[in-house]
């Protein structure tokens, strides 16, 4: 029996047998490789959970621990995650090129665990608590720079035929993390603001600190999985198992012929620009949804949070379905047509949001009316002033001459963007990994992740300024122009966005 098992483990899989430049892959190597890839899925899932698990409670927690914190400082706290990730991604990517990828992964997750513990203790110092929170969120983002290592690992451990499916699964795990993060925060809200005080640890366990500590526990589990399960695996574009890297000499032992040739720099730069635009657009969409709905539909703050939360949750589940479907579509038509189609759908989504018609949004005139009564207030006006004013703020002068966006437009736009964004997201970095080929991708993936983090940082700033000053017509027209520019760029470089092995004739397209 044992002899049968040994022979089965050493039996080459068919996909590694014929014409691959690496050695044929055994069944044991195949199982070990996919166990390691699933650990990367879990790491990507936890990276997105770490971002969203406290995102809905940051503002009230910040106000609780430091009364001097303003709404503008909140913007820095939220942006700190992306800034930390943007700095760390190329560094961890470079590290993974020259050392076993287990090292940067364990180090980054340890930083993440420590940062979440720091977040749980930000109320402890006697002063400057808001800066401790800023530091904690920056370090959480810095630890999330391991996304570059995760992507480079999956790219190097999959063949061309496997890669789109693996990247789609990884994106689905990332989307699931974005959905479950706020859900975990909501589930822990029963602890309350006061919670319990653990005097032994000098820790206040409440609805604000419990999610961060849960994220730290997830990180410990992730470290154990990386240490116990993860193994170094490299396969060529045809699925043959390649030799590992000699980290002492920093050279690949027995380099396969398929790694010979130069990476196309135009394709690399184009892919980074497209990825930046895709994430820039979605960051804008996330940022504008709440103020837009409050201005156009006269929703209260509570209604806007509730309804947009439901809509974003639906988009999250829609994205998971798109991730699962897109890998089958790409097998039929290819990666580039899916990316092109996704951008076209996003363009339609923002075009639908352009205001038209002769109906105008409700305007918050109450404050102006009260100020023009020369200090005279009736009991009715006094009672009304205690209620939350709804509608488009009067200080936004465009409210007076810009038609209102209808609820049907808003829902349709959400649906279209919920289809186009995930398709573009997974296809952009799947194409990128194929363009880079079997060479070490850590640094390149680091730059891709950094460009995405930069987009998430700049997008909210851009849309908040344009929307507040000029209104939705200008904001969405400019976004449509950006998407159209991305479509033109993709069309112009379409023939160059091909896999490394295809470009150098090692594999037929």
Say which CATH number the domain at 439 has. Answer: 1.20.1250.20
Give, for 227, the enclosing helix (H) or strand (E): helix 210-228
Q: Indicate whether 10 pLDDT > 50.
A: no
| pTM of the complete model | 0.71
Mean pLDDT of 187-212: 81
| 121 falls within a domain | yes
Query: At how many degrees (to 10) do helices 265-297 and 335-352 cross?
Result: 30
Q: Indicate whether 169 pLDDT > 80.
A: yes
Give, for 252, the enclosing helix (H) or strand (E): strand 251-252
Structure confidence at residue 382 as a pLDDT band (50, 70, 90): very low
Under 8 Å between Cβ of 267 and 496: yes
Q: Indicate whether 371 pLDDT > 70.
A: no
The C-alpha atoms of residue 247 and residue 97 are separated, in whole angstroms, by 9
* Number of domains into which the chain is organized: 2
Q: Indicate whether 285 pLDDT > 60.
A: yes
Mean pLDDT of 310-332: 82
| 19 falls within a domain | no
- 286 and 216 fall within a common domain: no
- 207 and 267 fall within a common domain: no
CB atoms inside a 10 Å sphere around CB 246 = 11
- 109 and 204 fall within a common domain: yes
The C-alpha atoms of residue 39 and residue 224 are separated, in whole angstroms, by 10
- 97 and 58 fall within a common domain: yes
Mean pLDDT of 241-246: 55
CA 254 to chain centre: 36
| 62 falls within a domain | yes
Last residue of a domain, one of 234, 269, 297: 234
- 102 and 227 fall within a common domain: yes
| 467 falls within a domain | yes
pLDDT of residue 118: 93
- 160 and 268 fall within a common domain: no
Between 281-290, 390-399, 500-509, the lowest mean confidence (pLDDT) is in 500-509
pLDDT of residue 305: 64
- 438 and 358 fall within a common domain: yes
Between 71-80, 205-214, 226-235, the lowest mean confidence (pLDDT) is in 71-80
| 252 falls within a domain | no
**What's the domain range around 274?**
261-364+391-509
CB atoms inside a 10 Å sphere around CB 295 = 28
Q: Indicate whether 159 pLDDT > 70.
A: yes
- 412 and 453 fall within a common domain: yes
- 279 and 168 fall within a common domain: no
Nearest to 163 by CA among 502, 504, 505: 502
Structure confidence at residue 222 as a pLDDT band (50, 70, 90): very high
- 401 and 300 fall within a common domain: yes
pLDDT of residue 127: 81
Burial of 388 (0-12, 13-18, 19+ CB in 10 A): exposed
| 424 falls within a domain | yes
Q: Hey, what are 145's tokens?
A: 């720079």
- 79 and 165 fall within a common domain: yes
- 219 and 283 fall within a common domain: no
Mean pLDDT of the chain: 78
| 314 falls within a domain | yes
Tell which wins on pLDDT, 228 or 240: 228
Q: Indicate whether 389 pLDDT > 80.
A: no
Task: Tally helices (H) and strands (E) across the chain.
Answer: 18, 6
| 194 falls within a domain | yes
């Amino acid at each position: 029996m044992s002899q049968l098992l040994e022979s089965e483990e050493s039996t080459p899989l068919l996909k590694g047998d014929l014409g691959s430049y690496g050695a044929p892959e055994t069944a044991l190597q195949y199982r070990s490789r996919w166990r390691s890839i699933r650990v990367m899925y879990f790491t990507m899932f936890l990276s997105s959970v770490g971002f969203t698990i406290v995102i809905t409670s940051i503002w009230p927690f910040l106000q609780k621990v430091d009364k001097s914190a303003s709404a503008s400082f909140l913007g820095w706290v939220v942006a700190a995650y992306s800034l930390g990730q943007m700095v760390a991604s190329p560094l961890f990517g470079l590290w993974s090129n020259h050392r076993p990828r287990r090292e940067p992964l364990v180090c980054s997750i340890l930083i993440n665990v420590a940062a979440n513990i720091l977040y749980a203790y930000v109320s402890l110092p006697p002063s400057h608590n808001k800066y401790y929170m800023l530091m904690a969120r920056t370090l959480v983002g810095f630890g999330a720079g391991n996304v570059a290592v995760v992507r480079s690992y999956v790219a190097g451990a999959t063949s061309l035929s496997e890669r789109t499916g693996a990247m789609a699964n990884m994106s689905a795990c990332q989307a699931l993390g974005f959905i479950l993060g706020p859900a975990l925060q909501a589930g822990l809200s029963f602890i309350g603001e006061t919670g319990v005080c653990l005097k032994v640890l000098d820790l206040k366990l409440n609805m604000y600190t419990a999610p961060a500590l849960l994220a730290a526990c997830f990180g410990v589990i992730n470290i154990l999985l990386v240490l116990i399960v993860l193994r170094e695996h490299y396969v060529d574009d045809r699925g043959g198992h390649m030799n590992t890297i000699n980290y002492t000499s920093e050279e690949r032992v027995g380099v396969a012929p398929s790694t010979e040739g130069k990476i196309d720099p135009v394709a690399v730069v184009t892919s980074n620009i497209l990825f930046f635009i895709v994430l820039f657009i979605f960051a804008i969409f996330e940022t504008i949804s709440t103020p837009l709905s409050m201005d156009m539909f006269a929703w209260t703050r509570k209604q806007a949070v509730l309804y947009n939360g439901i809509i974003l949750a639906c988009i999250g589940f829609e994205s998971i379905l798109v991730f699962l479907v897109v890998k089958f579509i790409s097998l039929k038509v290819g990666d580039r047509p899916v990316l092109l189609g996704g951008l076209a759908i996003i363009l339609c989504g923002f075009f639908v949001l352009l205001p038209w018609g002769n109906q105008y949004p409700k305007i918050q005139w109450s404050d102006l009316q009260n100020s023009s009564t020369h200090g005279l207030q009736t009991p009715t006006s006094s009672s009304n002033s205690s209620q939350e004013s709804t509608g488009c703020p009067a200080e936004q002068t465009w409210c007076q001459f810009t038609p209102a966006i209808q609820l049907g437009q808003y829902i349709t736009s959400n649906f279209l963007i919920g289809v186009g964004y995930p398709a573009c997201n997974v296809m952009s970095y799947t194409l990128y990994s194929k363009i880079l080929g079997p060479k070490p991708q850590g640094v390149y993936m680091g730059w891709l992740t950094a460009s995405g983090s930069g987009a998430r940082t700049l997008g909210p700033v851009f849309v908040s300024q344009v929307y507040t000053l000029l209104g939705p017509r200008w904001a969405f027209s400019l976004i449509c122009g950006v998407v159209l520019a991305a479509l033109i760029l993709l069309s112009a470089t379409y023939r160059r966005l091909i896999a490394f092995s295809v470009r150098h004739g090692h594999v037929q397209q």
